[in-house]
Structure 1
């Protein structure tokens, strides 16, 4: 773990891997006065503070005093995402995993996913599966437009596209759930630490 001051209002923590990020994020669940936010990424955690109420040194001491537990994950509640599994890449994902399409759907809905960090677009949460088993590559040629609500996997992560955008993830299905809405508080449903459970709705998968 390496701590770097980021001006007088943040401390950047560099870590070995995503598992270490998840463990530290979970250990920093109860911030002291003056710490405004804890922002995880793939290999870093940014601790944002109010320099009028605390200092970089004090925040660094708090971070160093944390006791991350291997395998721990942050807990920000749970969101159920209803999915119609008719994605354009569903058959290719089944072939890559060496199983029928029905089993892909059963695995996806039977897995608890935890949002590790946000990025790419507002409300886009990179979710990691409990138990692994989803280390699939991105598409060789990205799509110029992926519809909002697309449920996808790639690179060991799962996600729901919050808005239409280019993208190279493997599409499993779609949801009508608005995972990002600026008129809602919080605007992003799939925030770091949120557990996701996907549920089958709509036509049967055949």
Structure 2
């Protein structure tokens, strides 16, 4: 783990794994340090932003260094259920790659509980961990130039939902009508790091 200055009032924590990143994020968040104004996780990094003129960054580092990162502090996560119609263009491809039936793909995808590890790529796009092993598949060899908003896909160890129409190379399983990002809402992004997510088939 490396702690790198990121301007005068922030530090970028470089982690060795997604799990370590999640533990650092959970530890700093659980510490509820009054002068830490933002905690932004990435795939292998955590950006900690402190209030100018305070010792927030030093306090955050002390909290992490004193923590048992193998057993990070628990929380009371929000739970979100997303109804999905499993009619994606790549549903059969995912089944063939996994060596299972389409029905089993749906059962696996809906049977798991996912955690929002971090957000990025587009406003409201959440990278969800907890994808069952047979569904962990590579991105498409040729990305699509347009993926419709609400598309539910998977790539590597992640699954997620495209909050708006955009290019993308994830394998598409289906779609949801749930709005993932609304800039006019009090909470624009539906999903935030630490949230728990389940998918429910409505087909």
Give, in angstroms, the shift of residue 107 of structure 1.
0.4
CA offset digits 1:142-166 (Å, max 9, x no partner) = 1000000000001110010000000
Answer yes or no: is the 8 Å Cα contact 1:26–1:68 preserved in 2.
no
**Gapped regions of structure 1 (runs ≥ 5):** none
What's the counterpart of residue 170 of structure 2? 169
RMSD, aligned α-carbons: 1.9
Aligned pairs, number: 202
Give, in angstroms, the shift of residue 53 of structure 1.
3.8
What's the counterpart of residue 9 of structure 2? 9
Structure 1 10/185 Cα, relative in aligned 2: closer, same or farther at 3 Å?
same
Answer yes or no: is the 8 Å Cα contact 2:125–2:162 preserved in 1.
yes
CA offset digits 1:126-149 (Å, max 9, x no partner) = 111166443200001110000000
What's the counterpart of residue 19 of structure 2? 19
What does 1:112-127 align with in structure 2 at a 5 Å threshold? 112-127=113-128
**Gapped regions of structure 2 (runs ≥ 5):** none
Answer yes or no: is the 8 Å Cα contact 1:77–1:195 preserved in 2.
yes
In the superposition, the TM-score normalised over structure 1's length comes to 0.91
Answer yes or no: is the 8 Å Cα contact 2:6–2:12 preserved in 1.
yes
Structure 1 85/62 Cα, relative in aligned 2: closer, same or farther at 3 Å?
same
What does 1:91-110 align with in structure 2 at a 5 Å threshold? 91-110=92-111
Answer yes or no: is the 8 Å Cα contact 2:131–2:157 preserved in 1.
no
Answer yes or no: is the 8 Å Cα contact 1:12–1:47 preserved in 2.
yes
In the superposition, the TM-score normalised over structure 2's length comes to 0.92
Provide the rounded CA distance (Å) in 2 between the counterparts of 1:43 and 1:74.
21
Local SS of the residue matching 1:96: helix
Moved more, 127-136 or 104-113: 127-136
Answer yes or no: is the 8 Å Cα contact 2:148–2:166 preserved in 1.
yes
